[in-house]
Amino acid sequence: MKYYIAGGTFAFIGAVTLLIIMSAMEPARMESFTQSYESRQIERGALIFESGCRPCHGPQGEGTPLGPPLNRADLFDGEYLSAIGWSGTLDDFLRSTISAGRPLPTEGTNFPQRMPTWSQAFGGPLRPDEVVNVAAFIMNWGDRAIAGVQPTEITDDLMMGTDIFIELPEGDAEIGQNLAESQFGCAACHILSTVGPPWAATGGLPGIAVRGDIRIQQDNYTGNATSGDEYLIESVVEANIHVVEDFQPGIMPANFSERITLQDMAHLLAFMKTFE
């Protein structure tokens, strides 16, 4: 009995001592978990960024023709926020933009698509905690922000419009290639992937240089082109007038008629005609 009581007393004192030791250790433990939790937000955000944001903003956030760079100095030094008149913090701005998207383009830029809504609250796929994770990942670029702003410039040149029979100036295929790969981003869907019909010859189909002549002969052709060249111009400026079989309408940005000048269209056409 004595030993029982001694043991019990020892255990009781032990439990109380443990409680005191733990009380002293708790603040450090909570802080350490908070730090590791914030680090894991960045890890998870990186994974979400890779699947959701990378296609438009680039693997390292350096931007693509489809979306502006995020890994840029003026985002982190506050310049950009004051330029657009944002009164909250950068973290707030990121969460808001990721959640609710951007219905209007930033002034001076001319990207083909608007930022979609990503939060489940606004019809997107991400949970609230995932939005926070993505913002945490973008915030982590802070001290390594490299890329400058590269808005696509709006020139005063004559815009193409939707007239496919208009006479075009002389075009240069090399300039056209540059435009396709950067400013207009055609390459992303038509050369590097098969989101849109590939420009190069595939299987039984010849390249687009000659494909237009075949298309306009087809019974299901719904456009107005009368020649191969006109067909190619039409696919750029009035993409949805005829959608090639097995592809969905509405994928191709429909605003190229307002974004491409006559001269650029000529360059692009010259480049497209190199795919035989």
Should residue 20 be labelled a site residue for another protein when binding is judged by CB under 8 A?
Answer: no
Of 10 and 165, nearer to another protein (C-beta) is 10
Of 25 and 200, nearer to another protein (C-beta) is 25
Of 60 and 224, nearer to another protein (C-beta) is 60
Element at 206 (helix H, strand E) = none
Should residue 194 be labelled a site residue for another protein when binding is judged by CB under 8 A?
Answer: no
Q: How far is the CB of 149 from another protein (least distance, A)?
A: 20
Contact flags string 53-92 toward another protein, x per CB under 8 A = -------x--------------------------------
Alpha helices (H) in 101-227, listed in sequence order: 128-139, 173-181, 186-190, 208-215
Alpha helices (H) in 49-89, listed in sequence order: 54-57, 73-76, 79-84
Phi, psi angles (nearest 5°) of residue 261: -85, 165
Should residue 37 be labelled a site residue for another protein when binding is judged by CB under 8 A?
Answer: yes
- The CB density around residue 35, as the number of other CB atoms within 10 Å, is 10
Should residue 148 be labelled a site residue for another protein when binding is judged by CB under 8 A?
Answer: no
Residue 32: alpha-carbon gap to chain centroid: 34
Should residue 36 be labelled a site residue for another protein when binding is judged by CB under 8 A?
Answer: yes
Should residue 146 be labelled a site residue for another protein when binding is judged by CB under 8 A?
Answer: no
Should residue 249 be labelled a site residue for another protein when binding is judged by CB under 8 A?
Answer: no
Identity of the amino acid at 203: G
Element at 155 (helix H, strand E) = none
Q: Given candidates 76, 111, 118, 141, which one binds another protein under the rule CB under 8 A?
A: 141
Q: Given candidates 76, 105, 143, 193, which one binds another protein under the rule CB under 8 A?
A: 143
- Retrieve residue 150's tokens: 């590269």
What is the spatial distance between Cα 129 and Cα 46, in angstroms, rounded to a whole number? Answer: 13
Window 105 to 134, contacts with another protein (CB under 8 A): 127-130
Phi-psi domain of 36 (left: phi exceeds 0; alpha: psi -120 through 50; beta: other): alpha
Query: What 3-state DSSP class applies to 134?
Result: helix
What is the spatial distance between Cα 137 and Cα 44, in angstroms, rounded to a whole number? Answer: 8
Residues in touch with another protein (CB under 8 A): 1, 4-5, 7-9, 11-12, 14-15, 18-19, 21-23, 26, 29-30, 32-40, 42-44, 46-47, 50, 60, 127-130, 137, 140-144
